[in-house]
Amino acid sequence: MILLISCADEQLTFTQKTFQKQLTLPNAKDTTTVEVDIPVADGKTIVADSINNKIFSVVKEIIYLENESFTSKDYNLLLKSFIGSYQQFVHDFPDYTTPWDANVKGKITYQTAAVLNIEIDHYSFTGGAHGNGGLRSIIIDPKTGKTIPNDSLFKNKKEFKAFAEKQFRTKYKIPANNPINSTGLQFENEKFQLPQNIFYTDKGLLLYYNQYEVASYVDGPKELLLPYTEVDPFLNFK
């Protein structure tokens, strides 16, 4: 699939690419699988390289088990390393037969001349009671290929945070005079914070709190969609 994004000075093109590797050990209950389906910016430009490097670094962080010795930027080698980590684990613990699983799907969810937003939907299981999953947001300036930090999204972060907290309390029925965690949430230091992942969508700005970020695993993620008619005055980019 080819995706086209028109910018002020050039046209970025993306190709959706899929990478997959599997392994079934003789005594395993099932097949260990790792799959990455991701948009890749075409061409050899500085902008394309910057975008691809950022996407790869996020995928690597998700599936590579925090092994900092891996320095390649090749998806096939990354997936091969994941399989190798599983093989090594089984070698070290011969009675372990449960397969691992990692699935990463990326897509472009929003694009203008000022903003390119890429969503990374991921899930991985490498043992334990349950797997880990969630959404990651990559917000990029399509003219430079550089990441736009969350703090730079807003003209006045403090004012936006106060606005977002009021909307969050309304949605989740938390009285204004009560502590933010009074209904069972788990904001650090009992203070409302913006999420690690913010998404531009066609309907508005989405504040997305992954599992464990402000609530227990069983409570799942929390989200708040703010229409652009309400948040436009706060935004530096749109």
Q: What is the pLDDT of residues 175-211, one digit of tens each?
A: 999 999 999 999 999 999 999 999 999 999 999 999 8
Whole-number pLDDT of residue 7:
45
Question: The CATH number of 2-140 is which of 3.40.630.150, 3.60.15.10, 3.40.50.150, 3.30.565.40?
Answer: 3.30.565.40
CA distances from 3 to 9, 67, 211 (A): 17, 32, 31
Whole-number pLDDT of residue 6:
45
Rounded Cα distance between 60 and 69, Å, is 12
Whole-number pLDDT of residue 8:
42
Task: Return the ∠ at Cα 125 (arms to 149 and 105), rounded to 5°.
Answer: 50
Among 27-31, 152-156, 213-217, top mean pLDDT goes to: 152-156
pLDDT by residue (tens digit) across 62-75? 887 555 567 788 99
**Range 150-234 classified under CATH 3.90.640.20:** yes
Rounded Cα distance between 90 and 103, Å, is 20
What 3 state SS string does 15-67 have? EEEEEEEEECCCCCCCCEEEEEEEEEECCCCHHHHHHHHHHHHHHHHHHCCCC
Strands (E), 61-131: 101-111, 116-125
CATH 3.90.640.20 domain residues, the chain: 150-234
User: For residue 51, what are its two tokens?
Assistant: 């975008």
Task: Return the ∠ at Cα 63 (arms to 57 and 65), rounded to 5°.
Answer: 100
CATH 3.30.565.40 domain residues, the chain: 2-140
Q: How far apart are the first and last CA of the chain?
A: 25
